[in-house]
Structure 1
């Protein structure tokens, strides 16, 4: 069975977005003397460090060296790994266990670095469920560009109609749609209204698990089946 579920990492699997936001705030304040509200990082989740920092520097018209983003990013990663105690979003382990047991191929596409991703997945005990990872080092363009999910499809050897994305941020949803993928969203860090472009929005991961379990059981053995057949319109509410 060639069916895959493609996950964002932070805020979908790992309960880390608040810590990401706080450590980004501290790093940018320390290195660039700029104060950024927490909401900025929640809305812009999915961008890699370079894209995020270049945007911040441009928006605040800071005269900085070309490689300052790397210095700030490295400092931020250090702060994050020191401050964060890895923990899963409620229902994450149950969901990946359920989907893996049903034969779904699982992958992650994230704007985080390889080091951070491997450490978080390993320490939370779910690394072995995932056949493919796409991190910030693997792509030229970060979300909302489709490249992260396009590359993940290639690694998992599935077509867009055979895969579905689970996201929690608008840039990730935009990336999934641009890659011609159906996207479900979960309101762990952003409101239903912010995530309205997803095909369906759920309040938690257990709801997504029940939905996918039901659909898989109904369509078992159906060779013509596709995720897109579940939705009459692309952006159903």
Structure 2
């Protein structure tokens, strides 16, 4: 019986991807580098720090990684604050509330920075539902490395066999499976370039899940 659900954030709880895309490509323009759509898609599930380390290595950028990260973060924050149509993905709040009200432990494990997670959680009032928040910036390796999910599972009230992960990216699913955790792949509009076949179960809308279906998922 499932006791804990570990949620990814970007692309699962909220779609901040258009804001990230806007901020990244503004920065790429400032840096005078050309990042293909294929290369950008490969960054999904990576922390911002690891994205810029890859870009620094690929394009021989002179700036330090931390400086690049802070510049992009400022661009993101400016865009986030003015984007009025930013909302939770359809059905996810209902699922979160249903799981929480029925005693399922909820943990967030996101590659996003703590600052970004806080902005999202404060804007949409999500803190009350989650017992723990795990940020990818605390780990040297990003998804598909399993460290973030291994740590999230260690915070569970139950063994990892009683946990599931909900992910929307190829790297995230690989990380969940690498950690030995049952993974639900969420096939969103923004995951079209992502391969979800390794997930144990694939859904296209959160109305396909509720407390009873999650509890008995295995």
Q: More relative contact order in 1 or in 2 (CA 8 Å, sep 6+)?
A: 2
Is the counterpart of residue 112 in structure 1 residue 112 in structure 2? yes
- After superposition, the CA RMSD in angstroms is 2.1
| Map of 2:24 onto structure 1 | 24
Cα distance in 2 for partners of 1:192, 1:160 equals: 29
The alignment's TM-score, normalised by the length of structure 2, stands at 0.89
- Please tell me whether the aligned partners of residues 41 and 193 of structure 2 are also in contact (alpha carbons under 8 angstroms): no
1:77-116 to 2 correspondence within 5 Å? Answer: 77-84=73-80, 85=83, 86-116=86-116
- Structure 1 stretches of at least 4 aligned residues deviating more than 6 Å after TM superposition: none
Could you list the per-position Cα deviations for residues 31-53 of structure 1 after superposition, in whole angstroms to 9, with x for gaps in the alignment? x3112244543442211112111
- Please tell me whether the aligned partners of residues 21 and 38 of structure 1 are also in contact (alpha carbons under 8 angstroms): no
| Map of 2:200 onto structure 1 | 199
Is the counterpart of residue 13 in structure 1 residue 13 in structure 2? yes
In structure 2, the gaps of 5 or more residues are: none
SS state of the match for residue 89, structure 1? coil
Cα 1:156/1:120, change in 2 over 3 Å? same
SS state of the match for residue 185, structure 1? strand
Aligned length: 213
Question: How far is the alpha carbon of 1:215 from its aligned partner?
Answer: 5.0
Is the counterpart of residue 48 in structure 1 residue 47 in structure 2? yes
1:1-237 to 2 correspondence within 5 Å? Answer: 3-30=3-30, 32-38=31-37, 40-60=39-59, 62-65=60-63, 68-84=64-80, 85=83, 86-188=86-188, 189-191=190-192, 194-207=195-208, 209-210=209-210, 213-214=212-213, 216=215, 219=216, 230=218
Question: How far is the alpha carbon of 1:56 from its aligned partner?
Answer: 1.9
Question: How far is the alpha carbon of 1:2 from its aligned partner?
Answer: 7.2
Cα 1:137/1:190, change in 2 over 3 Å? closer
Cα distance in 2 for partners of 1:63, 1:80 equals: 20
The structure with more radius of gyration: 1
SS state of the match for residue 12, structure 2? coil
In structure 1, the gaps of 5 or more residues are: 220-226, 231-237
- Please tell me whether the aligned partners of residues 22 and 38 of structure 1 are also in contact (alpha carbons under 8 angstroms): no
